[in-house]
Amino acid sequence: MSTKRAIGELAREAGVAASTLRCYEREGLIRPAGRTDGNYRLYDPDGLERLRFIRSAQAAGFTIVDIKTLLEYRDGVIAPCREVSRLIEERLSHVRKRMKEFRHGERVLGSYLDECRRAKRDASCHVMRKLDPTVARAARPPTGRPKKK
């Protein structure tokens, strides 16, 4: 029995779609160990371990570019901890920035929802006026003195 697996079998073992494996192959993250006479991809046992590494790195928040770099380290003799640490710091900084943006969005959406719940059912929506400057201009009463004719 061959230790090589077809793409569908590897995908099932790793819990991903075969299309995900093809995408990883296009991105240069994984390569088949060979092909069948019918030109089907075949993966060796390292393919499954590599795929698990990729999925684990993605779950940790690393980008495809980051994962390519990590795989280069993994495929080398040693993983330079200083470089891996720098990559983690960059990704963590990005995650923290996104979390700050999400918290801001949560506060804004929460205040909008509160406004909607306090408004009369058939009243013009204050939130829509805030979001759409054209609605805000149309709903705003004119200011200043009337123009002379």
In a domain, 60, yes or no: yes
CA nearest neighbour of 58 among 93, 16, 97:
16
The residue ranking higher by pLDDT, 141 or 95, is 95
In a domain, 147, yes or no: no
Say yes or no: 125 and 54 in one domain.
no
CB 81 within 8 A of CB 46: no
Structure confidence at residue 129 (pLDDT): 82
Say yes or no: 69 and 84 in one domain.
no
49, 78, 107 - which closes a domain: 78
Angle between helices 64-75 and 81-118 (to 10 degrees): 160
In tens, the pLDDT along 17-27 reads: 999 999 999 99
Residue 141 pLDDT exceeds 60: no
Give the domain range for residue 66. 1-78
Domain total of the chain: 2
CA atoms within 13 A on the CB side of 130: 10
CA nearest neighbour of 55 among 13, 99, 5:
13
In a domain, 146, yes or no: no
The residue ranking higher by pLDDT, 148 or 25, is 25
In tens, the pLDDT along 26-75 reads: 999 999 998 888 888 899 989 999 999 999 999 999 999 999 999 988 88
Instruction: Work out whether the CA dihedral 36, 2, 20, 56 comes out positive or negative.
Output: negative
In a domain, 149, yes or no: no
CB burial string 34-66: b at 16+ within 10 A, e below? eeeeeeebbbbeebbebbebbbebeeeebeeeb
CB 70 within 8 A of CB 62: yes
**Average pLDDT value over all residues in the chain:** 86
pLDDT-derived band of residue 148, with 50, 70 and 90 as boundaries? low
CA nearest neighbour of 3 among 45, 52, 50:
45
51, 78, 105 - which closes a domain: 78
Say yes or no: 90 and 56 in one domain.
no
For residue 25, the domain's CATH number is: 1.10.1660.10
Say yes or no: 72 and 133 in one domain.
no
pTM of the model: 0.68
